[in-house]
Each structure stands twice: as C-alpha cells, then as structure tokens.
Structure 1
Amino acid sequence: IRVMEQYSTNLTDKQWQVIEKIINPQERKREHSLRNIMNAILYLLKTGCQWRMIPRNFAPWESVYYYFNK
C-alpha cells in the first residue's frame, strides 16, 4: 500500500464523492485505487511532467496511462 502524499492537485473528499458515483469503482477488484489513479492524472496534467516521472507514491505510470487513455 502506497502512502498518499498531499499534493495541491489531489481530489478533495467531496470531489471524489461526485466522481465516484460516475465511474463506479466497485465494478471489479483493482490493485490500485481509482482515486489514486485520478490524483496521478491530475498531477500529471497540472505539472506537465513526463509519464515516467510521476512520483512513486502514485500508481505505476503504466496503470495511470492505461486509465488516462480509457
């Protein structure tokens, strides 16, 4: 389990509650939480970092990239 650092791009609990209703994260078992993946996508979009430079406390870049493309 990765410890989630607090970045200014992280979703608030209230924001996550809205998104969670739309994407239904319980539809299947996942290795990484969708909230963690969404936070990584938001971090990447805000900072403009390269995919492989996403901080390690997020899900692996390959997983984040998969959901970004989806």
Structure 2
Amino acid sequence: MKSMYQSGLSDEEWMLVSHHFEHKDPRGKKPIHSKCAIVNAILYISKSGAQWRWSQRGVWEAALDEINEIHRKETAKSQPLLWGL
C-alpha cells in the first residue's frame, strides 16, 4: 500500500511489522480501514504533529491563501484613504 505521506511505511517495511497487527478473533465487523493505514496515520501524527505543510498537496496552500486574503482586506479597511489629496 503506497502511503500518501512521507512518514508512511513502504510495502517492505509493512511486511516486517504486519505480523504484530494480525487479528485472530473472528468476531466483530470487518474493519473500515486497513491496519497499515492506521499505522501510517499514527506515524504521520507522530512525525509531523499535524503541521499544515504535511497535509495533502494544495490543502495548506489554499488555507494560507484564504487567510492572506482576509488579512489583506482587514488591513485595507483600517488604512485611511488618501486618494485625491
């Protein structure tokens, strides 16, 4: 399974540790997420602390653009208009 993030395990690394996550009890519902995906999520949070720049490509840039636009508008409101002086 290819990880979306730098912190994710490669297929070879997953093969080395997957036996620690085997589920031997047949009861219960089938899991929604693979154990590899869960381990990758834990590694992601552990490594990045959920920093913006580690999020999916385009997400943090879009959020930063929006924040900058709001800041630009608020700054423009607080500046006195000197046009026509």
Coarse TM-score class (shorter-chain normalised): 0.5 to 0.7
For the pair shown, the structure with the greater C-alpha radius of gyration is 2
Determine the C-alpha separation between the residues in 2 that align with 1:17 and 1:27: 21
Ranges in structure 1 where 5+ consecutive residues have no aligned partner: 57-70
* Alignment match, 1:38: 39
Cα pair 2:3 2:40 within 8 Å, conserved: no
How big is the alpha-carbon RMSD for the aligned residues of Structure 1 and Structure 2?
2.7
1:1-70 alignment runs, 5 A limit: 6-25=4-23, 27=25, 29-49=30-50
Cα pair 2:8 2:44 within 8 Å, conserved: yes
Ranges in structure 2 where 5+ consecutive residues have no aligned partner: 57-85
Count of aligned positions: 49
* TM-score between the two structures when normalised by the length of structure 1: 0.54
Alpha-carbon offset, residue 11 of structure 1: 0.4
Alpha-carbon offset, residue 26 of structure 1: 6.5
Relative contact order higher in (CA < 8 Å, ≥ 6 apart): 1
* TM-score between the two structures when normalised by the length of structure 2: 0.46
